[in-house]
Every structure is written in structure tokens, then in C-alpha cells.
A and B are shown apart, each in its own frame.
Chain A
Amino acid sequence: MSYVPIDPGMLRGEIGMVTRPRRRWLPFSPWHLILMPIALIMLTPLWSMVATSLETLPQTRHFPPILWPGDFQWGNYPGTVRAADFGLWFWNTTVVTVSVVASNLLLCSLAGYAFARIRFLGRGVIYMVLLATLMVPLQVVLIPTFLVTKSLGLIDHLGALIVPNLANVFGIFMLTQFFRTLPLELEEAARMDGASRLGILFKIVLPLSMPALTTLAVVQFMWTWNDFLWPLVTLPFNEGAYTIQLGLMNFQGAHTVDWNYVMAGNVMSMMPMLLLFLAAQRWFIRGIATTGLKG
């Protein structure tokens, strides 16, 4: 998986497309016949969520389901916030996500640069060992990783979500690959002028690496924000440390048939991620296309 920059034009529908004259047997492209139903199916759960979040409780129990509430119950949102600690959950998730993303940018840059540019004793072996750990998914080592975290006294603290994720091998791998593609000349010139390794990394390499860093940041953000299994295991009792995913799960469990409130909570939980996606769509696309990984 090497780093292949993707042209943002792909999103605008300009690149990689074949245009050819074709005869028309429909007043519109036949592709619509495939795309329209699929798009509607994909959007149905989302639409149903938003509609339900604005309904009265009796409306949610109506059959057939109501997809346009008519009289919008905007009060469901403040009502939901009052009924549970959404603010606290957002805050916890933000603390964890920001810490993890910032730390990964720093630590993966340092390590990636060393692996890409500095010849040091044991470099090859260490690199291979790190990559080997990528082969083993968390699910397999859940129990021992949990035990390590427990022995560090992190269980039931936000630290349990932060410390083990401060440096992600995948990020190191990605940045190493990217740094190797950068031209050496600038760095060599700077070394001639007596610049330190750290100086070169921060003043020359990183400014050239904004695409890779942004990609790493959004992908890491998505993984951390949406993570479920690890918080589930490491925050057994402390509801004060819940992330939005755990909180949402508990909220749903406590209001199983209050679907309007549950959906209002669901919409709120998705908002930050969705806004970030809309704002940084091409970085997500690039991240996924190049990393080939979903959370």
C-alpha cells in the first residue's frame, strides 16, 4: 500500500471519466436507474432517523411510519440534552480524540522521518517488528491489552483511551512511505547549512507533507471518535468518563421506546463527524483510498 495522491477532481466528477458519444434511448442517462434507487435506500435510514427525531412520541408509534412529521418537535433536542449527559460525553470524546490525533501527528512524524531518512543501528529490524504488530488485530489481543492497561491503573479513566493510542503503527508506516517520496535536495542543502535533524523535520519536511498529515489526522479522528470496543472494555464503571458512543448506547438502553429522543441523540452524536466529513471530504476520500482501512 504505497501512497498514491488522489486528485480531488475525482470528487467533482472531472477526472478519469470516459466521454464518448452515445445514442440516447432515455431522456436521461440509464445510470440514474441504478443510482437513484440505491441512493434512496442508502439515505432511508438517515432520513428516517432525522424525521423520527422531530416527531411526537405518538407519531413514532404510528404505522405506517411517518416520514414527514409536519409539526416539527424541535424541543426533542433540548429535551434529549436534559435527559442525559450529552455535553459531558462530547467533551470526553473531544479530549480523547484531540489528544490522540495531536500525539499521532507528532510521534508518527518523528518516527516516520527517522525510518525514512536516518540510518541508525537496528532501523530495519525495528521497522519490521512494528509492522508485524499491524498483523494482529485488537480483537485478538483484547484480553492481554486490557490487562496491560489495567496494570497501569488506567481502567475507568480517560487515559485508558488515550495512552495506548498515542502512536499508531499505521500512521508511522504511512508517513514513512510519504517522506520517502519527498526530494532529498532541500534537506541536504539545509544540512550543509548546519540545520539539526529536528529543524529539518519541522521547517522543511512537515510543511511539504501537509496532504499526508491531513489525511492521517482525519482518518485517526474518525477511528477515535467512532471507537466502541476499546472504550466498552476499559470504562466499565465510570460513567463520568463515557465517550459519545458508550453514552449513546446507554441512552438508547434507557429510552428503548422513546424513539424520538433516541434519534435526536443519534443525530447529535453524528453531527461533529458529519460536519467534519462535509468540510474535509476529499481528505477522507484520500485517506480511505490510500490507507484502504476503515475504523
Chain B
Amino acid sequence: MKKHAFLALMTVAAMIGVACTKDSGSTAPDGGGGAGEVTNIILWQGYGANDLDNQGNPNYEAQSLRELIDEFNAAHPDIHVENTFAGSNDKVLQKLTVALQGGTAPDITYQYGSSLPQLAQAPGIVDLTQVVQDPSWGWDDFIPGARDAATFDGKILGVPALIDDLAIIYNKELFDAAGIGYPTADWTWDDFRAAAKALTDPAKKQFGFAFPVDASEDTVWHYDAMLWEAGGDILTADNSAAAFNSPAGVQALTTLSDMAVTDESVYLDLQNTKIDDLFNSGSIGMVISGPWALSGYPDIDYGVEIMPSYDGVNHETIAGPDMWVVFSNDAAREAAALEFLQWMTAPEQVLKDSMLTGHLPTRLSVPSMPDFAGFNDKFPGVGVFVDNLQNVLKARPNLAAYPQISEAMGQAVVAAMLGDKDPATALADAEQQVNDALALPA
């Protein structure tokens, strides 16, 4: 999931998805079906229409999708996949909502995993639970955290399209200048805090660490990883009540508030728009971010290391998977869409996509494929994120009430980091809100 990914779900960011329904339907192909005819299916993606972006820079993600789709179309004369750029990934959910209101839908659409609870109610969504049981799909080869995220209410509703996780990205030059050693896999959060403090220089407007404090899901998932490392959890095992207001939860939030309020070593990005640019300009020592961010740091010499632990042992992180979701327009198109999707997410194609874009492979078998060998050289630092996928032990709850849970937790983290509330009070308030939200009938 791209950085601002969840923002879209929470705020459902930009205005409403009311592009006239005729627009969304206008590209609908003629149904297809009979023998010898070509079955047209529509695929929505949010990466781009061209191999180059507006500024003329290569858009490898869009290029990769186009090449794979072209390859599939060439090899399958009876199916034509129409590759449609549906606006940024942040807007695909809105656009889909609008299309569904008008009774039309693409056959396949790229969506954030976090949107599944909302999509589960959508008319025409294809339940893949039985489909992917066929051994030819190799379902168990997908990374476990991604498989979990594809499942809502016991049903598999998506096929993993992308996965990433959080780790420390640090500016080597600033560490050298401060005379402190680079982060290691043995670091505890105390080491992290001390380094952030040493890297902070108010006179130079230089900060040791930076954190998104817009109270969005981006705020929350950074905290989630720390909460899990401290041994806590978001909800109780049966998803009936909040569990984050625990000693572990307070410990994790205290780490953040100590750094932000006491040490003032954290750049607090209220709008969550400036961190990447400031890091790339050498004003920030460390960020915690995902592999997608690396391409935004061309100007500095950075290193990547897994997140610190509390006890020196338990390293965890969090994954944000994206999904391909299938909608049924008619039997022929549904069958064609599934055929394409199975091909698209097979190991060979996952490998090709990773090698061109630097995406972490969604399948466990891919890193051991011979052609994957050059990956770490081509995408320095991404290897740490690949290995770090083993530290994805937990997933956020897939619940219809998740947006309210996220909002309450986001407010708590921000209140503590701005110094408006102490961590314990902030979490207690959020716990109350979450329990109220969970108590409401679905």
C-alpha cells in the first residue's frame, strides 16, 4: 500500500465520486461470449495511462502493468484485457462506488486491502474462496499477511497485488556527521530514541525522526507496529473490544511522546505531506517507511534497517497489501477475468513485476527463483524490506467498524505526540470510543 493509501479510505479523500455514471459505463465492451468471439474485459488500475508520468519521468509501475497485459493479450487471442487508468489509487474506491450505483463495474479493479470491508457489500463482487482453492492458483504461496488481508468475514474477496512493510530508512551522512553508528538489527527503541536526539539540531532545523501526525491511518499503522512489538494488540482476540489501552500500548505511545514532546527530536508533519521531501533534502535523520518511498530519495545516501524492538528479540512490522478484486458482469467475462488474474498473479509475472518496479514479491517462492538474484543490486535497500516480511506476524482487524477504530487511535497518537494528552489518558479516551463503535450493531 502506497503511503497515502489509507488516507483515501478514511477521509475518502477528494470529493465525491460522482463522475457521471455515463462516463464510467462508456467504455463497457460488447458482452462477448460465443465461440470464436473475443471476450473483452475491463481492468481498472491507479498507476498511470502511460509509461512516462506528467514530468516525463519513467513510471515503471504503469509500464509493468501495460507490458504484462500486452503479453497476456498476445498469448490469449480469445480474451482482450482493456487496461484502464482510473485516476490515482486513492480514488479508485470512489470511482468504483459511483460505477456500481450506475449498475456498471469493471471486471477487475485494483483496490487497497483496507477497502475490503466496504467492498464486501458491493453488488457483483466475486467470492474467490472456492476459486483459489484450485491448486493451479498456488494460493498458499502468497505471503500469509496478504492472504489474511484478502479475507473478510471468512470469504476471500481479493488476490494480493502488492505488499510492503515498514522499516527504518536513515540518512548515512547525518549519522556520520553526528558521529554515531548506523542502526542495527539489534537496536532497541531506547537506542532509536537516543540516536534521534543526537541527530537533532534545532539551529539547523534538523530532526532525528519524522512522524505523520495527521491522525490518518498512516499515523495509526506506524503505531500499530510498535504496539505489537511491545506485546500489545489492537483488539481482543474475538474483536469485541479495544485492547490497545494496555501496558504495552502505553509503552509504545510513551516512546513516541517522549521523543516528540520531551526530546523534541521528531518533525511532526501535521498535513502528512512533507516528510519525504524533507528527508530527501537532508533535514531528517530517520524515517519509518516502506519500499515505495525509496524512489523519492534520489539525493541522499540512505540505508535501510528493520524496526527496533523493545525487548531485543521481538521485531515486528506491519504490512499493507493491495488487492485485485473481481466483479461479475456476465459468466463469460467473469471466467475471462479469472483466467487473466490467475496468470497475472502467477510467480513468473510477479517476478517480472518486481524486477521492473522494485515491488516486494507477493509470493513466497519468488525470492528463490534464479532470476530474482539481481533484485538487491538493482534496488538497494529493498532487500531488507523483503526479509522484513517475515516479521509481519499480525494484521489489522478486517471489520466494518475499522474506520472508527482507526480514527480514534489516530486522534490518540496525535494528541500524545502534540503533548495535549499524556499517553495513558489518550489511549483510555480512544478505548472508550472504540468500544462504543464496536457495541453498535453492524
B-binding residues in A (CB < 8 A): 57, 61, 63, 83, 150, 153, 155-156, 232-233, 235-238, 253, 256-258
Q: Is the CB of A83 within 8 A of B20?
A: no
Contacts of A256 in B (CB 8 A): 271, 273-274, 277
Q: Is the CB of A236 within 8 A of B18?
A: yes
**A63 shortest CB reach to chain B, Å:** 6
Q: Is the CB of A233 within 8 A of B277?
A: no
Render B253-287 as a binary contact track against A, CB cut-off 8 A, 1 for contact. Answer: 00000000000000000010110011001010000
- B23: interface (CB < 8 Å): yes
- B17: interface (CB < 8 Å): yes
Q: How far, in angstroms, from A156 to B278 measured CA to CA in the complex? A: 34
Interchain CB contact (< 8 A) of B22 among A63, A153, A258: A153
Q: Is the CB of B205 within 8 A of A63?
A: yes
Contacts of B55 in A (CB 8 A): 83
Interchain CB contact (< 8 A) of A236 among B15, B277, B278: B15
21 A-B pairs in the complex with CB atoms less than 8 angstroms apart: A61-B281, A61-B283, A150-B20, A153-B20, A155-B20, A156-B20, A156-B23, A232-B15, A233-B15, A233-B16, A236-B14, A236-B16, A236-B18, A237-B91, A253-B273, A256-B271, A256-B273, A256-B274, A257-B274, A257-B281, A258-B277
Q: A153-B22, A237-B17, A237-B19 are in contact. Are A61 and B205 (CB under 8 A)?
A: yes
Contacts of A57 in B (CB 8 A): 281
Q: How far, in angstroms, from A219 to B185 measured CA to CA in the complex? A: 64
**A55 shortest CB reach to chain B, Å:** 14
Q: Is the CB of A156 within 8 A of B19?
A: yes
Closest 4 interchain pairs by CB?
A236-B15, A257-B277, A256-B273, A256-B274
Question: Which of B14, B271, B283 gathers the greatest number of chain A CB atoms within 10 Å?
Answer: B14
Report B184-237 residues with CB < 8 Å from chain A CB: 205
Q: Given contacts A63-B205, A155-B20, A256-B271, could you give 20 more A-B pairs where the C-beta distance is less than 8 Å?
A: A57-B281, A61-B205, A61-B283, A83-B55, A153-B22, A155-B18, A156-B19, A156-B20, A156-B23, A233-B16, A236-B14, A236-B15, A236-B16, A236-B17, A237-B14, A237-B91, A238-B19, A256-B273, A257-B274, A257-B278
Q: How far, in angstroms, from A83 to B55 measured CA to CA in the complex? A: 7
Q: How far, in angstroms, from A51 to B94 measured CA to CA in the complex? A: 40
Contacts of B16 in A (CB 8 A): 233, 236
A-binding residues in B (CB < 8 A): 14-20, 22-23, 55, 87, 91, 94-95, 205, 271, 273-274, 277-278, 281, 283
Contacts of A63 in B (CB 8 A): 205
| Closest residue of B by beta carbon distance from A255 | B277
Contacts of A155 in B (CB 8 A): 18-20
Q: How far, in angstroms, from A232 to B15 measured CA to CA in the complex? A: 7
User: DSSP class of A's interface residues: helix, strand, loop or mixed?
Assistant: loop
| Closest residue of A by beta carbon distance from B202 | A63
Q: A150-B18, A155-B20, A256-B271 are in contact. Are A237 and B95 (CB under 8 A)?
A: yes
Q: How far, in angstroms, from A236 to B55 measured CA to CA in the complex? A: 22
Contacts of B18 in A (CB 8 A): 150, 155, 236
Contacts of A153 in B (CB 8 A): 20, 22
**B287 shortest CB reach to chain A, Å:** 14
Contacts of A236 in B (CB 8 A): 14-19, 94
**A252 shortest CB reach to chain B, Å:** 9
**B95 shortest CB reach to chain A, Å:** 7
Question: Which of B18, B91, B271 gathers the greatest number of chain A CB atoms within 10 Å?
Answer: B18
Q: How far, in angstroms, from A257 to B269 measured CA to CA in the complex? A: 12
Q: How far, in angstroms, from A83 to B56 measured CA to CA in the complex? A: 10
Q: How far, in angstroms, from A233 to B17 measured CA to CA in the complex? A: 10
**B324 shortest CB reach to chain A, Å:** 22
Contacts of B22 in A (CB 8 A): 153
**A257 shortest CB reach to chain B, Å:** 4
| Closest residue of B by beta carbon distance from A154 | B20
**A262 shortest CB reach to chain B, Å:** 11
Contacts of A233 in B (CB 8 A): 15-16
**A98 shortest CB reach to chain B, Å:** 25
| Closest residue of B by beta carbon distance from A149 | B18
Q: A153-B20, A155-B19, A156-B19 are in contact. Are A237 and B87 (CB under 8 A)?
A: yes
Q: How far, in angstroms, from A37 to B5 measured CA to CA in the complex? A: 46
| Closest residue of A by beta carbon distance from B204 | A63
| Closest residue of A by beta carbon distance from B269 | A256
| Closest residue of A by beta carbon distance from B278 | A257
Q: How far, in angstroms, from A153 to B21 measured CA to CA in the complex? A: 9
Contacts of B278 in A (CB 8 A): 257
Q: How far, in angstroms, from A171 to B273 measured CA to CA in the complex? A: 41
**B286 shortest CB reach to chain A, Å:** 18
**A226 shortest CB reach to chain B, Å:** 19
Question: Which of A83, A153, A232, A256 gathers the greatest number of chain B CB atoms within 10 Å?
Answer: A256
Question: Which of B20, B271, B273, B283 gathers the greatest number of chain A CB atoms within 10 Å?
Answer: B20
Question: Which of B15, B16, B55, B95 gathers the greatest number of chain A CB atoms within 10 Å?
Answer: B15
Q: How far, in angstroms, from A233 to B283 measured CA to CA in the complex? A: 36
Contacts of B273 in A (CB 8 A): 253, 256
Contacts of B95 in A (CB 8 A): 237
Q: How far, in angstroms, from A150 to B21 measured CA to CA in the complex? A: 10
| Closest residue of B by beta carbon distance from A253 | B273
| Closest residue of B by beta carbon distance from A235 | B15
| Closest residue of B by beta carbon distance from A258 | B277
**B378 shortest CB reach to chain A, Å:** 27
| Closest residue of B by beta carbon distance from A236 | B15
Q: How far, in angstroms, from A112 to B272 measured CA to CA in the complex? A: 50
Question: Which of A155, A236, A237, A253 gathers the greatest number of chain B CB atoms within 10 Å?
Answer: A237
Contacts of B274 in A (CB 8 A): 256-257
**B273 shortest CB reach to chain A, Å:** 4
Contacts of B15 in A (CB 8 A): 232-233, 235-236
**B106 shortest CB reach to chain A, Å:** 15
**B317 shortest CB reach to chain A, Å:** 27
| Closest residue of B by beta carbon distance from A153 | B20
| Closest residue of B by beta carbon distance from A152 | B20
**A17 shortest CB reach to chain B, Å:** 47
Contacts of A83 in B (CB 8 A): 55
**B195 shortest CB reach to chain A, Å:** 23
**B429 shortest CB reach to chain A, Å:** 30
Q: How far, in angstroms, from A236 to B20 measured CA to CA in the complex? A: 11
